Structure 1
Amino acid sequence: MKANKAVLLVNLGTPKAPTVGKVRKYLSQFLNDPRVIDINPVGRAVLVNGIIVPFRAPKSTKIYKELWTEEGSPLIIHGEKLKEKVQQQLGDEYVVELAMRYQEPSIPKVLEKIKSYNVKEILVLPLFPQYASSSTGSAIQAVMEVIKNWWVIPELKIVSQYFDRPDYIEAQAEAAAAYNHEDYDHVLFSYHGLPVRQVDKVYNEGLCSDHHCEDAYDRENQFCYKAACFETTRLIANRIGIPEEKYTIGFQSRLDKKWLTPFSDELVEEFAKKGHKKLLVFSPAFTADCLETTIEIGDEYDEIFKENGGEHLQLVPSLNSNPKWVDTVCNIIKERM
């Protein structure tokens, strides 16, 4: 093999199939991750294995069946297409692989494959624009847990976040090009939620609420997920020309009330009750369309919006394997290797 540089793209994961058994296996691995549910280990085991997974698996299976396509899981499909296009653009100096933090293709198996290539450098690129311990942090830790046992450890480089790159913002603008924000009454930027305690842990002093995360992004809050989400929104809105009064930031997929607010589903209901008829929704925390975008926003939020007087909710597709997104990924790689 000519390649002496390896790139590992990592996304969150997906069940192997939309069956109760496969979904249960996925949820168990995902929710037992101490970076995802960061509570006492005994409490986590009881909560996840005794309550959440047994009750949630059958319900989630029905949703995954709605999401599934003839080709399989959209997250895998988009990931493979991105990998192929990035590989093609980079050429044979690099080898590009895709892994999932949970389930298949697994990080240990893909890293074993990379190890067999005997490359000089490895770049780990989690496909999460904004850093969060439960996504980026977990992916990086999983990679390190495998590589630490190698006798020969090649030069290792890691990308923790990239939401403020101009080319990433351009990629978001390209994804939104088919939708004129002026045709909509309001624009919602919906990000995956996190427990407030997880963003609080970012700070050496004080809590997230003690800082200025909604208003500015700087050295002080550079690894705060909430601050990164607000900054991402400002950058995209400024690039597209959406005035500040016309957009709102929300957080979705919460498990309880102690998560980041405002909650996206409640905002959607509120917009409809205010008389908004057309709502445009971005989901910049997701680089590939998945259950949280296609089903949660595209179907469930659309239903909430219409039930409360709205007429049309339009989801802006994720970056998936769009040309400018492929360019961005290649730029990140070439700048670091």
Structure 2
Amino acid sequence: MKAKTGVLLINLGTPDSPSVGDVRSYLSQFLNDPRVIDIPWLLRKILVNLIIVPFRAPKSAKIYKELWDEKGSPLIYHSENAAELLQKELGDEYKVHLAMRYKNPNIVDVLKDMRKIGYSKLVVLPMFPQYASASTGSALDLVMKEVSKWWVIPEMKIISQYYDHPDYIDAFVDRAQKYNLDDYDHVLFSYHGLPTRQVDKVYDEGLCEEKHCENEITEENKFCYKATSYATTRLLAAKLGLEEKDYTVCFQSRLDQKWLEPFSDKVVEQKAKEGAKKLLVFSPAFTADCLETIIEIGDEYQEIFEEHGGEKVQLVESLNDHPKWVNCLKDLVLN
């Protein structure tokens, strides 16, 4: 039976290898994206190509070498495993394709293959539960630009976010079951950071800080990354039986000080100074383990915590190929 519906799963991407050259190529493509660094074109080119990439690539390559294992990049093989399991769940009427927004397998080539197959319907599903212009927005932007060139454009279903999907929440709760929450002094929910100007752009009037994003989801802030990060945390905390005093929402991987606060590394430092000995850290914006979870949280935050008197930072693994995560993807495709 020929598949009638093509499903395109999209994750962020990773260098083709941990070599300096491949890391430089990846960083250049990633950071030159105007949705990632949203400043005037000429200034972005100077900043990225003459300052950030030349100095950051050698340092990042060393970190990627720590991340790489015998199977390659965890983000790639975890995403591939999820795609394969989703294919089994969907059956022959669907064909699942996996692409990365940056590097390989790249969206443009994967879409060329999908066009040749001639599907009656396309489902585009970025693997980012909370919408952000720099992740979901960028991926969908590129997909729409490519598909707009097709002479025949099939029916399309685009999924922008699903942070409140029950199976997504339950999958993270299941991941936490291997840890006794009572053994930890505090829980962190660490999300990838964004420049504050990017969440401000969600609103026609006013700034994000004026929209009560820490407390509620409204029609106005429903696509604000800060608001949905806090909403995700409330859903997880309720399932885990955590009270507000038990946890902190924070944001990691910042490039400068004008990013969403509080900063995860500073929270780790502060908790150690307050006497905490064990921290449990979720990173719900990532559905596949990667540099930001395994290295940044698992290694770098461990060093910060120990330096200031703490003992253990325990990362709760990402969803990877968890059955409930695969079921979440299936439900999003079908319903």
- The TM-score range, normalised by the shorter chain, is over 0.9
Quote the Cα distance in structure 2 between the aligned partners of 1:328 and 1:157.
16
Quote the Cα distance in structure 1 between the aligned partners of 2:171 and 2:142.
28
Quote the Cα distance in structure 1 between the aligned partners of 2:51 and 2:278.
38
TM-score, normalised with respect to structure 2 = 0.99
Q: What is the DSSP-based 3-state SS (H/G/I as helix, E as strand, rest coil) of the residue aligned with 1:219?
A: coil
Q: What is the DSSP-based 3-state SS (H/G/I as helix, E as strand, rest coil) of the residue aligned with 1:123?
A: strand
Q: How far does the alpha carbon of each residue in 1:150-192 deviate from its partner, in whole angstroms, 9 at most, with x for none? A: 0000001100000011121111111111112111100000000
Give the AA of the match of 2:245.
Answer: E
Matches within 5 A, 1:252-331: 252-331=252-331
Q: How far does the alpha carbon of each residue in 1:75-122 deviate from its partner, in whole angstroms, 9 at most, with x for none? A: 110011001000011111100010000000000111111112111000
Quote the Cα distance in structure 1 between the aligned partners of 2:64 and 2:176.
26
Quote the Cα distance in structure 2 between the aligned partners of 1:274 and 1:47.
38
The corresponding residue for 1:243 is 243
Matches within 5 A, 1:1-337: 2-335=2-335
Quote the Cα distance in structure 1 between the aligned partners of 2:210 and 2:242.
28
Percent identity, please: 64
Give the AA of the match of 1:160.
Answer: S
Quote the Cα distance in structure 2 between the aligned partners of 1:142 and 1:73.
23
Q: How far does the alpha carbon of each residue in 1:41-64 deviate from its partner, in whole angstroms, 9 at most, with x for none? A: 000000000000000000000000
Quote the Cα distance in structure 2 between the aligned partners of 1:181 and 1:332.
30
Q: How far does the alpha carbon of each residue in 1:214-241 deviate from its partner, in whole angstroms, 9 at most, with x for none? A: 1111212001000000000000000111
Quote the Cα distance in structure 2 between the aligned partners of 1:122 and 1:191.
29
Q: What is the DSSP-based 3-state SS (H/G/I as helix, E as strand, rest coil) of the residue aligned with 1:314?
A: strand
Quote the Cα distance in structure 1 between the aligned partners of 2:165 and 2:323.
16
Q: What is the DSSP-based 3-state SS (H/G/I as helix, E as strand, rest coil) of the residue aligned with 2:220?
A: helix
Quote how far apart the aligned CAs of 1:193 are: 0.2
Quote the Cα distance in structure 1 between the aligned partners of 2:323 and 2:179.
18
Q: What is the DSSP-based 3-state SS (H/G/I as helix, E as strand, rest coil) of the residue aligned with 1:270?
A: helix
Give the AA of the match of 1:261.
Answer: E
Give the AA of the match of 1:263.
Answer: F
Quote how far apart the aligned CAs of 1:132 are: 0.3
**Structure 2 unaligned blocks of 5 or more:** none
Q: What is the DSSP-based 3-state SS (H/G/I as helix, E as strand, rest coil) of the residue aligned with 2:145?
A: helix
Quote the Cα distance in structure 1 between the aligned partners of 2:133 and 2:204.
15
**Structure 1 unaligned blocks of 5 or more:** none
Quote how far apart the aligned CAs of 1:275 are: 0.5
| Greater Cα shift, 121-130 or 1-10 | 1-10
Give the AA of the match of 2:110.
Answer: V
Quote the Cα distance in structure 1 between the aligned partners of 2:30 and 2:179.
34
Structure 1 residue runs of 4 or more that deviate by more than 3 Å after TM superposition:
none
Quote how far apart the aligned CAs of 1:210 are: 1.2
Q: What is the DSSP-based 3-state SS (H/G/I as helix, E as strand, rest coil) of the residue aligned with 1:141?
A: helix
Give the AA of the match of 2:226.
Answer: K
Contact 1:8 1:122 in 2 (8 A): yes
Q: How far does the alpha carbon of each residue in 1:231-274 deviate from its partner, in whole angstroms, 9 at most, with x for none? A: 00000000111111100011000011100000000000000110
Contact 1:181 1:242 in 2 (8 A): no
Contact 1:187 1:247 in 2 (8 A): yes
